[in-house]
Amino acid sequence: MTRLQHKVAVVTGGTSGIGLATVQRFVAEGAFVYIFARRKDELDKTAALLGPNVATVAGDVRNIEDLDRLYAAVAADGRKLDIVVANVGAVDSVKLADVTIDSFNHNFEVNARGVLFTVQKSLPLLNHGASIILTGTIAALRGFPGRSAYAASKTALRSYARTWTMELKERGVRVNTITPGPCDTPLIDAQVSSKEEADLVRAKHAANIPLGRMARPEEIASAMLFLASDDSSFVAGSELLVDGGMCSV
């Protein structure tokens, strides 16, 4: 398990769900990973779980100074970057009639602006041939009530991947978007008030997926590994659907 041996990665939102599973898989494959997330207590738990091949930086992708601290930490360690996973996302689910300036801005500040500056700030540290992975959503491909601003902000990532692939081609940098379907993470439990409600949400998602179940975070992490590794050396500007067939059939 050495597909990322001697590689250095940044993963934002790496303390839970898909982000945590991705960090775990990268470390298992030989990478050193810088984890960036808002909650220091969760960062500390993750660092204790994964051991010496991770470093943590607390911060918010909406804050440019926090992103500067993240990359300053990488530079201070004398490292360059082979992989950047811009995974942090926000979901403010509001139907059109109830959208406010604040709810609109929250989605775009995290999902569109935050991702752009996460990647922009990494550029001086990127090795030739580095891989940039953006975490999208199937809400950008299908219509879901209440997802106006969220889906629009995530749709920007697909455009980023195309544009940045062209801008960074002289450096051999590959930029791709991974688009997960419904994934069974603690976020589901956090959005409802009881186990029964959470079970109903999971069952509803499963009923809409041709494979008949939600994704496991580890399955999305396997797709992240593919895009991060040399196995995807000729994949650039693309979108990888990992949705159990939900948007394809």
> Which residues are paired to 242 by β-bridges?
180
| Dihedral class, residue 153 (left if φ above 0, else alpha if ψ from -120 to 50, else beta) | alpha
Listed in sequence order, the DSSP H helices in the chain are: 17-28, 40-50, 64-76, 101-108, 115-122, 148-167, 186-190, 195-207, 217-228
The 3-state DSSP class for residue 81 equals strand
Active site residues: 150
Residues 224, 25 contacting (CB under 8 angstroms): yes
Question: Would you state the structure tokens that stand for residue 14, as one six-digit string?
Answer: 């790496």
Alpha-carbon distance of 60 to 83, in angstroms, equals 19
Alpha-carbon distance of 112 to 106, in angstroms, equals 10
DSSP 8-state assignment for residue 147? B
